[in-house]
C-alpha cells in the first residue's frame, strides 16, 4: 500500500484510518464515539527490575473486531526472518508449520516491548499465534515480527501483523466465538484463557464469581483482558492477553449477554 488514502483500520476500530503513504496516522473516519482504551506500543521509562522483563501491550486490533464489515485484506505472502509467511482465506502457514483456519482452536496476538540487555537491541516485537488443543501443547503456527525481519519494501512489521490479525478475525475468530458461546448456552462450563471459566450462570476466576447481570463487558488494556462489573467503573477480573483465546473474551461475553 503506497498511495495515501482512507483504508479499513488495521487496528479494528471499525472506522477508516488515514494512511499517509508511509504510516498509519491518528485520523479516523468516522471518529469513534469515545477514545479507545487500547494504547499502541510505545517506549516507556522502566526501572532496573523492569528492564529484565518483557512489557506486553494490548494488540490494538482487539479493541473491536472487524466482523461487521468484511475486511479488504489480500492474501499475505512475505518472508519473515528468512521463512515464508502465507495467509489467505483458507490457511495460515509459516515455515514448516501450517493450519487451515477451520481447524484453528485458539488464537493469541500481542505486541511486546523488548528491553535492551544481553546483547539485544531494544525494540517492539509483534507476535501472532494460532493452534489446536489449547492448554495441551497441540500444533501451532507462531510468527514473531520485528524491525529488520522483513525485506525492505515488503511492508512494515506492524502492517504485516495487522493484516494477519484481520485474516484471523474473519476466518477463525468469528467461528470460535460462536462455537464457544454455543457450548455455554448448551450448559457447558468452558475454560477460556487458562484462568477464566465461562458457564451458563456467568464467569469465575481468581476466586471471584460474577453472574451475567453483574458483568458490563470486557476490554483489552496494557496486555490484559479486563472484565468489568455493572456496578463499578473499575474492572474486577483480568487474564493475560497472551493466554490462548484471551482476545476472544470481549466478543464472547457480548455474544452471551445478548
Q: Three-state SS string across 122-149, please?
A: CEEEEEEEEECCCCCCCCEEEEEEECCC
Q: Give CA 61 to chain center in angstroms.
A: 6
Q: What DSSP assignment string belongs to 11-46?
A: T--SSEEEE-SSSEEEEEESPPSS--S---------
Sign of CA dihedral 195, 215, 104, 155: negative
pLDDT, position 66: 52
CA dihedral of residues 112, 113, 115, 116 (deg, nearest 10): 110
The predicted-structure confidence for 111-147, as pLDDT tens digits, reads as follows: 887 666 556 667 788 899 999 998 878 899 999 998 8
Distance CA 213, CA 94 (A): 43
Would you place residue 77 in the very low, low, confident or very high pLDDT band (cuts 50, 70, 90)? Answer: very high
Would you place residue 74 in the very low, low, confident or very high pLDDT band (cuts 50, 70, 90)? Answer: confident
How many CA atoms are closer than 13 Å to the CA of 156, on its beta-carbon side? 12
E strand or H helix at 87, and its extent? strand 83-87
The matching CATH number, chosen from 2.130.10, 1.25.40, 2.40.10, 2.30.29, for 179-256 is 2.30.29
Would you place residue 11 in the very low, low, confident or very high pLDDT band (cuts 50, 70, 90)? Answer: low
Quickly tell me which residue has 494477519 as its cell. 164
Mean pLDDT of 226-234: 84
Domain limits, the chain: 1-34, 42-172, 179-256
Q: Is the pLDDT of residue 62 over 60?
A: no
Output the pTM of the full model.
Answer: 0.72
CB atoms within 10 A of CB 121: 10
The average confidence (pLDDT) of the chain is 78
Distance CA 102, CA 173 (A): 10
CB atoms within 10 A of CB 206: 11
Amino acid at each position: 500500500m503506497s498511495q495515501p488514502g482512507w483504508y479499513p483500520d488495521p487496528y479494528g476500530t471499525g472506522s477508516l484510518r488515514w494512511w499517509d503513504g508511509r504510516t498509519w496516522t491518528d485520523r479516523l473516519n468516522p471518529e469513534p464515539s469515545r477514545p479507545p482504551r487500547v494504547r499502541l506500543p510505545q517506549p516507556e521509562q522502566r526501572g532496573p527490575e523492569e528492564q529484565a522483563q518483557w512489557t506486553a501491550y494490548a494488540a490494538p486490533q482487539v479493541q473491536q473486531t472487524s466482523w461487521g464489515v468484511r475486511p479488504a485484506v489480500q492474501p499475505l505472502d512475505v518472508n519473515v526472518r528468512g521463512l515464508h509467511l502465507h495467509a489467505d482465506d483458507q490457511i495460515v502457514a509459516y515455515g514448516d508449520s501450517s493450519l487451515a483456519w477451520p481447524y484453528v482452536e485458539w488464537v493469541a496476538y500481542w505486541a511486546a516491548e523488548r528491553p535492551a540487555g544481553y546483547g539485544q537491541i531494544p525494540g517492539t516485537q509483534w507476535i501472532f499465534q494460532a493452534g489446536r488443543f489449547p492448554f495441551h501443547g497441540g500444533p501451532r503456527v507462531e510468527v514473531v515480527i520485528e524491525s529488520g525481519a522483513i525485506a525492505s519494501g515488503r511492508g512494515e512489521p506492524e502492517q504485516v501483523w495487522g493484516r494477519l490479525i484481520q485474516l484471523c478475525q474473519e476466518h477463525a475468530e468469528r467461528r470460535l466465538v460462536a462455537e464457544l458461546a454455543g457450548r455455554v448456552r448448551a450448559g457447558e462450563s468452558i475454560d477460556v484463557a487458562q484462568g477464566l471459566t465461562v458457564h451458563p450462570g456467568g464467569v469465575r476466576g481468581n476466586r471471584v464469581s460474577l453472574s451475567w447481570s453483574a458483568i458490563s463487558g470486557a476490554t483489552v488494556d496494557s496486555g490484559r483482558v479486563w472484565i468489568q462489573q455493572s456496578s463499578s467503573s473499575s474492572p474486577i477480573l483480568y487474564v493475560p492477553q497472551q493466554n490462548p483465546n484471551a482476545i476472544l473474551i470481549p466478543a464472547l461475553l457480548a455474544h452471551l449477554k445478548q
